[in-house]
Structure 1
Amino acid sequence: MSRLSHPDPELTQRLSRRGMLGVAAGATAAALLGAAAPATAAPATAAPASSASASGRGRPVLPPGRLGIQLYSLRDKVSTLGFARVFAELAKYGYDEIEFAGYSQGSAGPITLAQLKRLARDHGLNPIGSHVGYYSSDPNAYTFAQNLTKVLDDAEALGLKHIGTAASPFRYGSTVDAWKRAADDFNTYGAAAKARGIKFYQHNHSEEFSFATDDPKVRLYDVLLAETDPDLVHLEMDIYWAYVGQFRFSKRPDGTAAPFEPLDYVLKQPHRYPLFHVKDGESDPSNPYGYRMTDVGDGDIDYRRFISGVTRLRGERLAHHWQAEHDNPAESFTFARRSSEHLHSLREDC
């Protein structure tokens, strides 16, 4: 559960997550170097801080029983205090669900999957998903590519309904054909997961919204959507990183405009997005990523608008799961408590 030091904040986050999962840290570094240069235009949909407030007098924006947290945000507590202490705190804060990013608890001692499942149940927490590595150069690595059967066995043992990866599909490069090959991999994992009654999913960072190196008019995320079977491959939108992608890649490499709205992807295919990461950021156009990550509720991403936009779709209110996350919170229990308080306070306008 180490934290790696790197001048690129997004690469730091991604490599640190992979360190936690036991995946080779350098697996996609070359792909990152090929990403398009950041755009300099201000983010198109960043809301002022006041618009993300809890104002409104209607029903709660957050569907009941659907607030989760990605345990990567609490990796420091898991690795020192153990899952039991962490789950007890999360239950006090009003969380309903958890998403794993590894099943070990460091110096807190060994734990079995059966014990982990029982701990979650005893604290009223539903294990909804888990992040596992995509591939590694180590043939014995715990990844989808190297150890698919074991990954799915463990997901079944925990009773997970979703199993996914936070790795970007740069395994074969950043061309259109490279992403088609990665899409084939994901279709394979999705078919194997579906056979066990589990949904496979991919969690985005911002580079997914960059452009193919061999066809700069093509956004790579669109290739992923087009080339994966919607019945087999689902998406977990990290809303913060999607808006970072909007900031960085609102222009093609030749400078022509290519705006997009992250919410529109969801509204077009709501059933492909069962999970979301609710992560906040303060708008900062001077930052190459356009935002500085904050605790949920302290930033400029309008979660009242975003969540309402999804949950108002044809009965979709009960179909999605919302996982609070911060890649490197100043104090992880404080982040978890404040995020829950903010999200539970949001009300729809009458």
Structure 2
Amino acid sequence: MASTAGTAQAAESGRHHDPRCRRRIPRGGIGMHLYTMRSVLETAFEGTLEQLADIGYATVGVSGRFGRDATQFRRVLDDVGLKAVLEHVGYATVAGTGLQKAIEDVHTLGGEWVVVPSLPTQMHTPAGYREAAAAMNRAGRVARESGLGPVLFHNHDADHKVVEGEVLYDILLNETDPEYVGFELDVYWAAKGGADPRRLFVEEGPRFPALHVKDMAPNGDFADVGSGVLDFAEMFETAHRGGVRQWLVEHDSPKDPIATARNSYRHLSRLRY
């Protein structure tokens, strides 16, 4: 947590102008996880996606399809010039008989990854995480054989807890095959849980093709990217070692989703690290 803390103002005034900061996020890598936009997508689906494209977003992470099947959803994305890169699919589906349909849907959407968004609460034990690791290895093998990337796991703060002497997230890192299982690291929840994304990128290597870029307000609440206390310039210095290819903005409860989308895109598009 300490290594990611700092003010957005400091990041902008310091690292942003530091001539040593050569990297920038590729424009094709700045995306929006659509959970952020769910309230406006419910009432203005096509218009909201068009606004995201107009702001400059290139990609989206899908989390709910708002009454549309994968083909209908893809058609709108194509019309407005956005590309889906992944879809969140419940653990029971990925571990069960619904996996093949989920893979087909991600293919139809034009994406690369099936993502497990969380594990059921009753599985939050070392034994439960070992069971999940085995299930995701099996699912990831099927996904790879079907032409997709590895199955990804999306974290929350509870995944970084120590239970019965073991860090739960470490069980997934250690007991999944990198060829079949990767991670969509939510940097807010990682920091909230006491994990350090910089360390994960360096120590675990290219297992993090996608991020949820979510900022933290001083009181620990959610914040628009660039307005909180997480130092993204410092955090992303090692992102290339983690294999990051997609930086997906997320805010769990934005007051004005379009304003959040604009503010967050502005910060990421200007960021140097």
* Common topology (TM > 0.5): yes
Identity of matched residues, %: 30
1:278 paired with 2:213, answer yes
1:95 paired with 2:57, answer yes
**Distance in 2 of aligned mates of 1:61 and 1:341:** 13
Q: Which amino acid is 2:142 matched to?
A: A
Paired residues for 1:1-350 under 5 Å: 43-45=1-3, 46-53=5-12, 55-56=16-17, 59=22, 61-82=24-45, 84-105=46-67, 111-135=68-92, 144-168=95-119, 170-174=121-125, 176-199=126-149, 200-212=151-163, 215-216=164-165, 218-246=166-194, 260-284=195-219, 291-311=220-240, 313=241, 320-348=245-273
Paired residues in the alignment total 267
1:169: Cα distance to partner?
Answer: 6.3
Q: For residues 134-173 of structure 1, give each alpha carbon's deviation from its aligned partner in whole angstroms, at most 9, with x where no partner exists.
A: 12xxxxxx55435112111211211211111111365544
**Distance in 1 of aligned mates of 2:74 and 2:49:** 11
Q: Which residues of structure 2 form unaligned runs of 5+?
A: none
Structure 1 window deviating more from structure 2 (87-96 vs 156-165): it is 156-165
Q: Which residues of structure 1 form unaligned runs of 5+?
A: 1-42, 106-110, 136-141, 247-259, 285-290
**Distance in 2 of aligned mates of 1:323 and 1:128:** 10
Q: For residues 256-280 of structure 1, give each alpha carbon's deviation from its aligned partner in whole angstroms, at most 9, with x where no partner exists.
A: xxxx523211222232100000000
Report the aligned-residue RMSD.
2.0
In structure 2, the CA distance between the partners of 1:271 and 1:171, relative to structure 1 (3 Å rule), is farther
Q: For residues 95-140 of structure 1, give each alpha carbon's deviation from its aligned partner in whole angstroms, at most 9, with x where no partner exists.
A: 01000001224xxxxx3422321221232211100111112xxxxx
Q: Which runs of 4+ in 1 moved over 3 A?
A: 57-60, 169-173
1:193: Cα distance to partner?
Answer: 0.8
Structure 1 window deviating more from structure 2 (155-164 vs 229-238): it is 155-164
In structure 2, the CA distance between the partners of 1:143 and 1:171, relative to structure 1 (3 Å rule), is farther
**Distance in 1 of aligned mates of 2:116 and 2:184:** 9
**Distance in 2 of aligned mates of 1:261 and 1:75:** 29
TM-score of the two chains, using structure 1 as the length reference: 0.71
Q: Which amino acid is 2:48 matched to?
A: V
**Distance in 1 of aligned mates of 2:196 and 2:162:** 16
1:234: Cα distance to partner?
Answer: 0.5
**Distance in 1 of aligned mates of 2:176 and 2:23:** 34
What is the SS of the residue equivalent to 2:96?
A: helix
- In the alignment, is the contact (CA less than 8 A) between 2:32 and 2:59 conserved in 1? yes
TM-score of the two chains, using structure 2 as the length reference: 0.90
- In the alignment, is the contact (CA less than 8 A) between 2:141 and 2:180 conserved in 1? yes
**Distance in 2 of aligned mates of 1:49 and 1:69:** 20
Q: Which amino acid is 1:153 matched to?
A: E
Determine which structure has the larger helix proportion and give its number. Answer: 2
Q: For residues 71-117 of structure 1, give each alpha carbon's deviation from its aligned partner in whole angstroms, at most 9, with x where no partner exists.
A: 000001111111x2121101111001000001224xxxxx3422321
**Distance in 2 of aligned mates of 1:210 and 1:170:** 13
**Distance in 2 of aligned mates of 1:270 and 1:168:** 23
What is the SS of the residue equivalent to 1:271?
A: coil
**Distance in 2 of aligned mates of 1:66 and 1:294:** 21
Q: Which amino acid is 1:331 matched to?
A: D
Q: Which amino acid is 2:202 matched to?
A: L
1:224: Cα distance to partner?
Answer: 1.0
Q: Which amino acid is 1:133 matched to?
A: G
- In the alignment, is the contact (CA less than 8 A) between 1:270 and 1:310 conserved in 2? no
What is the SS of the residue equivalent to 1:53?
A: helix
**Distance in 1 of aligned mates of 2:108 and 2:127:** 36
What is the SS of the residue equivalent to 1:130?
A: strand
Bigger Cα Rg? 1
In structure 2, the CA distance between the partners of 1:113 and 1:85, relative to structure 1 (3 Å rule), is same
**Distance in 2 of aligned mates of 1:338 and 1:60:** 20
The aligned residue for residue 256 of structure 1 is none
